[in-house]
A and B are shown apart, each in its own frame.
Chain A
């Protein structure tokens, strides 16, 4: 057991390291601006006085390294400073939105994960049949479509033509849980379609890879019935790749959410990021980027750890 903990701790350390490097990138990229933030935000027409006040306000007169550590210290305690545009604390702008985004992603994941894995396994077992080929074409099409294409198709049919679900996902606190699920159904469905396609293809590839291994052939040759080959021999070894597939796709979901939120005007962190980018509100952009990157790394880490836990071979690297 001890060596597992050691391995997991090592992975965690590596994840933290990467996150630290990313925070450096996110922070110092803004420093690459010609001039500095204050000049960039205020634009050409700014007076000397205005620039000076903003510089003072953002503490731009301190050296960059000092500001980086201040910012990092704040970020660890979830305090990302104040927005340049609205002067509000960044966390009060995106805190609520981050919860909404997590809700949407969880909603999509709860539907997509079981659905995709079951379909992926079925397609892998029926490989090279007509069903498999149709599934191949459909998933490839779904992967190749931009999220907004799927989103608008769903709006056109489910909302405009058939009037089953609302096209705009506005939320408020007084809604019941069912109302909430109904309101966010179309954005969630868009994500489900994209993620399911990815996950199905990856599950199929993983299972086919598995079924080609020598011990499966051995089991078949000694006359084990097909269902037993799958349950006894294939499934225990399939968990590792499947966990990997799930974690990777959840990481994908986190970024796919940005476009979907914009299509459905969903009050999530993705939309906050897009708004902040067009207004050049750097503190908000930095905070959103760091949160997205952290979630992404966390999920990739989960994939690694899951793989280690379910596959004893990884615990004893050669």
Chain B
């Protein structure tokens, strides 16, 4: 017990830890105040005050929890800051100007997406063991060979987590792309053609949207059985109407413009109108919608896998990994929380980026 408690406070004894922590906070707030950064100063100094109160009430351990949380947030903020500067440097002048307006949360989101993309693309090189390779006994604890321990069959948790990026995110991305193409195509068609086709498609979208998404997915999976193509098609049918509605609304505003009228008078066909006139003028809201849509799809697919109706074993998938290791939670182990956290982190990251894009495209509405 003794060596664990010293390790707990960043390798310091409790009193040295408290002293170092408060000194660091006070120095940081003084530096912030000296250089006239009001907001950082307020944040650091209020953290100091809160820490004093918590330290008095909860003792060194509570202080350690707060310090750890603050440390993690500070690390995330610094990584985001550095990543944003990095992106600004490598981007073209125009893009760099946009990136400068990105808040730290959006930069954090981009960083998360970047890391996931790397993990997904290079999974076989990053993962130390195979996806379905049984290397030790069930639920073996973590050691130097296995960063996160073993799962219920003795497979390496960390490797499965890395491979899961590919499978879970890949599946959700495919389904989102399909939903997006179906919805956007139908929406553009409805907006340009109008009339009975518009009405028919809109009613159809209304009906699909009035069934709760998870329930609809379960219904389709019960009929066609859980397999990759069924999941992708079912999920894309469920979410296409959302894209349809947005595309129709956005394109509906563009369609009434004079330049569309001019193009029509020139005798351009529907295909040209959609490709060259309407699409370029409605990309910004569509990109933001793509991000949101991805989050919905990803959460739905994760939910389905968690219920045992998603990607089937032995393929590594985050939702099913939570389900398979759920029993560990009653022993106070956090293993099942890790894949769940991986899901949450990606959705949070995408949401942060989307939030920024929406804010930017809506101007200074709020």
Contact = CB atoms under 8 A, between A and B. Distances in A.
B337 A146 contact: no
Contacts of B343: 145-146, 149
Contacts of A259: 214, 303, 306-307
Most buried by A among B39, B322, B340: B340
Given A25-B207, A140-B351, A300-B210, A156 B303 contact: no
A152 B330 contact: no
A87 interface: no
The contact size tier of chain B is: 35 or more
B366 interface: yes
A285 B332 contact: no
B337 A33 contact: no
B195 interface: no
Contacts of A127: 366
Contact of B218 (A22, A289, A297): A289
A305 interface: no
B322 A147 contact: no
B223 A29 contact: yes
Contacts of A33: 223-224
Given A130-B42, A144-B295, A152-B336, A277 B211 contact: no
A278 B366 CA distance: 46
Nearest to A282: B222
Nearest to A256: B214
B105 A137 contact: yes
A292 B207 contact: no
A254 B213 CA distance: 11
Nearest to B43: A130
B58 to A, nearest CB: 14
Given A30-B223, A149-B340, A152-B340, A277 B215 contact: no
Contact of A152 (B218, B221, B322): B322
Given A146-B302, A146-B343, A140 B352 contact: yes
A181 to B, nearest CB: 22
A146 B222 contact: no
B308 A146 contact: no
B220 interface: yes
Given A127-B366, A130-B42, A140-B348, A156 B337 contact: yes
A77 B105 CA distance: 53
B355 interface: yes
A216 interface: no
B105 A144 contact: no
Given A22-B211, A130-B42, A147 B303 contact: yes
Contact residues of A: prevailing secondary structure: helix
A293 B350 CA distance: 30
A262 B348 contact: no
A275 B39 CA distance: 52
Given A140-B355, A277-B218, A297 B330 contact: no
Contacts, number: 141
A160 B337 CA distance: 14
Interface string B190-220: 0000000000000000110011111110111
Contact of A292 (B215, B302, B332): B215
Interface in B17-55: 39, 42-43
B212 A292 contact: yes
A93 interface: no
A161 B352 contact: no
Contacts of B302: 146
B326 interface: yes
B309 A278 contact: yes
Nearest to B302: A146
Contacts of A32: 223
Given A149-B343, A155-B329, A258-B214, A143 B303 contact: no
Given A22-B210, A262-B306, A149 B341 contact: yes
Contacts of B206: 18
A215 to B, nearest CB: 18
20 contacts: A21-B207, A29-B219, A141-B344, A144-B344, A145-B340, A145-B348, A146-B299, A146-B344, A149-B343, A152-B322, A152-B337, A152-B340, A156-B332, A160-B332, A258-B215, A282-B222, A286-B219, A292-B212, A296-B210, A296-B212
